Structure 1
Amino acid sequence: MCKKWLRKNASFVVAVLLLGVLVGSVTGCVAESHEPYTQNYSALTTATDFSLGGEDRYFDKLQKDEENVLLFWGSWCPHCESLIERIDQLDSADAIKKNLFTVAEDESLDDVEGHKGDFPIYLDQDKSVYEAYGLEHIPTVFILNDQGEVLGSAQGEEDSLALLQEYASYNQ
């Protein structure tokens, strides 16, 4: 009975099998998803876009179809400087810095001169971006998708480092 049904409906069976193969190959083209981030200290679900001067906006810098890192820090903050040093010592430093954008809570470009060229730095002299994000402490890290949705967040040196390591494990 089964052989007879297969012969009679062979084209239907082939079509279903082909559809399964096509669906499988199309889903392979979609960016891989992973478990949610284990840290999410902030109540923000969507990051706040901000001007980088002129017509440039932060959201324009987000890498499409990738996760992005936004780090708030200050050169005067020993925990921030320690976090940056610890990132540099990681085997995954390149994965972290690939889509890293930083907001420095410093007063002048001279303050951040030691990190010039290490990663993009936006100088938040008037603390407007810091306040727009409702922050209380630095360092603070946000993991964002290309639409600015917050996927994970952490504050403090240890929690920020742990979140960045988790980010690197998902994005190497």
Structure 2
Amino acid sequence: MKKWKKRIYLFSLILIVAIVTCMFIFENNGNIKYKNEIKEEIYANDFVLSNELNYYSLISKNKENILLFWSSTCPHCNTVLEYLLSNDVYSRVLNKTLTVCIDSEINSAREISKKIPVYFDYDREILKDFECEHIPTLFIVSANGKLISKGDGGQESIELINEFIKKNK
């Protein structure tokens, strides 16, 4: 009889923990915070991409977006791009990603530009506007242009991509 009481007690305890965990998950659904959340109210500059396009015209409406600054000569940038373009990740960030390449020639990023939008920042003005201290730098941007989170370097950028995917299923 004592064995049954212990089993019932253990089962009850596990059930309570499961219920509390589920309540927490459902209560916070959609309100998941990013690890490197930007606390200030900062908005992305609406830079011009061409005569008819600007950044805000390309970002997904009612969704968060990824903005990645990179260079083809940077090994960490290439690691982030390879990860971003891997099959499992690419299908989840397609149409939600814009990249800004700081290379001085287009040929260096031609293959990447076939898969995701690439803007060339030859004079690095946009890089300066976003106050990027190094590359790669990845931002999560809201549909209205608010900078939500920032990842500096390869590892932080990949972690932020994973957070983005979890939050934007």
Q: TM-score, normalised by structure 1?
A: 0.75
Secondary structure at the aligned position of 1:143 is classed as strand
Q: Contact conserved, 2:68 with 2:100, CA < 8 A, in 1?
A: yes
Indicate the percent of aligned positions where both proteins have the same amino acid: 29
Say if 2:97 is the partner of 1:93. Answer: no
CA deviation profile, 1:54-95 (whole Å, cap 9, x unmatched): 132101111111111100001111100011112333623311
Give 1:46 deviation, angstroms.
Answer: 1.1
Question: Which of 118, 123, 132 is equivalent to 1:121?
Answer: 118
| C-alpha contact 1:46 1:148 (8 A) present in aligned 2 | yes
Alpha-carbon contact 1:100-1:119 (below 8 Å) kept: yes
The amino acid of 2:162's aligned partner reads: Q
Q: CA offset at residue 41 of structure 1?
A: 6.4
DSSP 3-state at the match of 1:147: coil
**Structure 1: 5+ residue stretches without partners:** 1-31
Alignment map for 1:21-170 (pairs within 5 Å):
33-40=30-37, 45-89=42-86, 91-170=88-167
TM-score w.r.t. the length of structure 2 is 0.77
RMSD between aligned residues: 1.9
Cα 1:47–1:154, aligned 2, differ >3 Å: closer, same or farther? same
Question: SS at the partner of 2:134?
Answer: coil
Contact preservation (8 Å) 1:41, 1:155:
no
The answer as to whether partners of 1:42 and 1:154 remain within 8 angstroms in 2 is: no
Q: Give the 3-state SS of the residue equivalent to 1:142 in structure 2.
A: strand
1:116 positional shift? 2.7
Query: 1:44 offset after TM fit, Å?
Result: 6.8
Q: 1:44 to 1:132 in 2, by over 3 A?
A: farther
Q: For residue 119 of structure 1, give the secondary structure of its aligned residue in structure 2.
A: coil
The 8 Å contact of residues 83 and 89 in structure 2, kept in 1 or not, is answered as no
1:47 Cα deviation from its structure 2 partner = 1.1
Task: Give me the whole-angstrom Cα distance separating, in 1, the residues matched to 2:150 and 2:140.
Answer: 6
